[in-house]
Amino acid sequence: MHWIALQALPEPVGLAEGEVANTLVGLPDPVAALGWWALQYTPKVALLGDVVLLEVSASERLWGGRAALLRHIYTSNKPVALVKYARGTTSLIAIGRLLAGQSVHTEPDQLPLAVLLAARPHVDTLARLGCSCWGQLRALPRGGVTRRFGADLLDALDQAYGDKPNVYP
Number of domains observed in the structure of the chain: 2
Domain co-membership, 81 together with 43? yes
User: Could you say which of 66, 83, 100 is where a domain stops?
Assistant: 100
Q: 109 and 135 in contact (C-beta within 8 Å)?
A: yes
Domain co-membership, 96 together with 123? no
Residue of 149 and 75 predicted with greater confidence: 149
Domain co-membership, 96 together with 115? no
Q: pLDDT, tens digit, for every residue of 63-114?
A: 999 899 988 888 876 666 678 889 999 999 999 999 998 877 889 999 999 9
Q: pLDDT, tens digit, for every residue of 109-127?
A: 999 999 998 999 999 999 9
- Establish if 168 belongs to a structural domain: no
User: Could you say which of 71, 100, 129 is where a domain stops?
Assistant: 100
- Establish if 169 belongs to a structural domain: no
Element of type H or E holding 48: strand 45-48
Domain co-membership, 16 together with 94? yes
Whole-structure pTM over 0.95, yes or no?
Answer: no
Enumerate the β-bridge partners of residue 84: 7
* Calpha distance 37→139 (Å, rounded): 39
Domain co-membership, 130 together with 66? no
Domain that holds residue 86: 3-100
> Average pLDDT in the 14-25 region?
45
Rg (CA), the chain: 17
Domain co-membership, 131 together with 77? no
* Calpha distance 133→68 (Å, rounded): 33
